Structure 1
Amino acid sequence: MVDKREITFDGIVMYQREHKERDLLVKILTRNSGKKMFFIKNGKSKSNRIAAELQPLTQATYEGILNQSGLSFVDDVKAVHFYRSLVNDIEKNAYATYILGLIDSAFVDNQPITLWFDRVQQGLEKIADEFDAQGIANYFEIALLPAFGLSITWQHCVVCGRSDLPMDFSEKMQGTICQNHFGVDANRMQVDSRAILVLSKLAQISLSQLGSLELKETTKKEMARVLDRIYDEQVGVHLKSKTFIQQLGAWQSRLRDR
């Protein structure tokens, strides 16, 4: 049964796409009702009074109708917060978009995921506040693995439980292994130990506990190598936003080399 009662709700715009000639479909992550697709009549028109508040990465308090199935509707905007640095900085924008893409892939629509709304809000704020954008995205990649049905051991060696020795990552063992057990996987990834340490820390803390995050480029590359392998080979999620990030990284490397 469709509920036609208007309510006020908090949301973060995930993306929008064209619908017919003048309309838009806008996916919004709502705080209490999960991801929902909204129909915006004449959304492509410059005269639409709420078009600006429906741009991707916008956080706002909206008024409208939330239907349990099918399309929902936005009628008004009560308050809005633009993460301007996320819009103006191509790298920050790419990682923020990727985080929202992961959320979209991990959960079905119309399922309440309030915890993840709060995490996304914190994550976007930290990226906007100059935290390392890749590091924040890596946090979400690790935290979302259980939602994709994957359990990875980061905190200690999966064989003996030690965490005080140099560590590496093993796909075969579904986690980290210490140097005493490197022999259990001839195809271990041979990851820099510093990257393993940072990944382990990200797996154990909450975003609210993360007071700072500054990473060396070499460490970031190693972290990305591990998580890209997991998502490509085990999760099976291949997002266009991640491809763009990889292409952007290659382009930036060429510029630095010049």
Structure 2
Amino acid sequence: MADIFNGLVIYQRPHKETDLMVKILTREFGKRMFYVRHGKAKHYQYAADIQPLTSAKYEGTINKSGLSFINDVKESHLPRIFLEDVEKNAYMTYILGLIDAAYVDNQPIPQWFDLAQTAEDKMVAGFDAQALANYFEIHLLPDFGIQLEWQACVVCGQTTGPMDFSEKYHGVLCQNHWSVDEYRMQMDPKALHVLQQLARVELKQIHSLDLKPATKREMARLLDKLYEEQVGVQLRAKGFIHDLHKWDQRLAQRKDKSQRTD
């Protein structure tokens, strides 16, 4: 009997001359690798339904071990924004990559499927792509074995007043205890406050978030450091995002220089 399941395509890889290996986050069965015979062929009927970031309802064979198979596609949708906006595509790819890195295959994780689907919907609606990725970075840290205190000073429990983040103490420090870590992050207060907010709320409760570029850079500075030095996960999509931002900065500098010389 065939299985019917909901899926979000994480990625696809070439296999042999005409075949594909397609990694899909399914709601019912967790992350699964599917073998798609002749998936690279010009006339493969489901080519559009197995593109990365596609959301679909599939029918197929889910095997307890080894590869699974797709027999039919009931419905599918790839939001146009992911074809038109390189940055949003990269951030959504990164979100799915984080989930892929945090969990073993074949383990049902419906809560993360639902969150990824919510993130995709919010991105389509115009929500800030980096903030969505930051949300996943924060909430996946425990699944990577990293427990952090975002809300209260790790020394005294203070929850109000100026705060900073300490890698050494795995959480925030109130102003009275900044001296215990001379290498604290010296975070911009606005950026740290946004991260604290992201850490305490459910994704569906966040309806809008207007962030300045400087605030987003500060948020990324902390989370990038945590993932590079404590988690040890380096995904290709994140490297692409870094390169994209560097290119944007170069273009902005050239534009500024050009305006000054005019």
TM-score bracket relative to the smaller structure: over 0.9
1:108, distance to aligned residue in structure 2 (A): 0.3
Matches of 1:76 and 1:168 in 2, distance apart? 52
Give the total of aligned pairs. Answer: 254
- 1:208 equivalent in alignment to 2:179: no
Structure 2 gap segments, 5+ residues each: 255-262
1:68, distance to aligned residue in structure 2 (A): 1.3
- Secondary structure in 1 aligned to 2:143? helix
Matches of 1:87 and 1:124 in 2, distance apart? 13
- 1:226 equivalent in alignment to 2:227: no
- 1:38 equivalent in alignment to 2:18: no
Structure 1 gap segments, 5+ residues each: none
1:43, distance to aligned residue in structure 2 (A): 0.2
Matches of 1:124 and 1:213 in 2, distance apart? 16
Please name the residue that 2:58 is paired with: 62
Please name the residue that 1:112 is paired with: 108
User: Which aligned runs of 4 or more in structure 1 are off by greater than 3 angstroms?
Assistant: none
Please name the residue that 1:88 is paired with: 84
15, 21, 40: which one aligns with 1:19: 15
- 1:161 equivalent in alignment to 2:137: no
- Secondary structure in 2 aligned to 1:241? helix
Please name the residue that 1:172 is paired with: 168
- Secondary structure in 1 aligned to 2:204? helix
TM-score, with length taken from structure 2: 0.96
1:163, distance to aligned residue in structure 2 (A): 2.2
- 1:152 equivalent in alignment to 2:148: yes
Matches of 1:68 and 1:128 in 2, distance apart? 34
1:127, distance to aligned residue in structure 2 (A): 1.1
The amino acid across from 1:190 in the alignment is Q
Matches of 1:22 and 1:32 in 2, distance apart? 29
1:109, distance to aligned residue in structure 2 (A): 0.3
- Secondary structure in 2 aligned to 1:80? strand
Matches of 1:98 and 1:143 in 2, distance apart? 14
- Secondary structure in 2 aligned to 1:144? helix
Please name the residue that 2:117 is paired with: 121
- Secondary structure in 2 aligned to 1:152? coil
1:87, distance to aligned residue in structure 2 (A): 2.2
| Identity within the alignment, % | 57
TM-score, with length taken from structure 1: 0.97
CA RMSD of aligned residues (A): 0.7
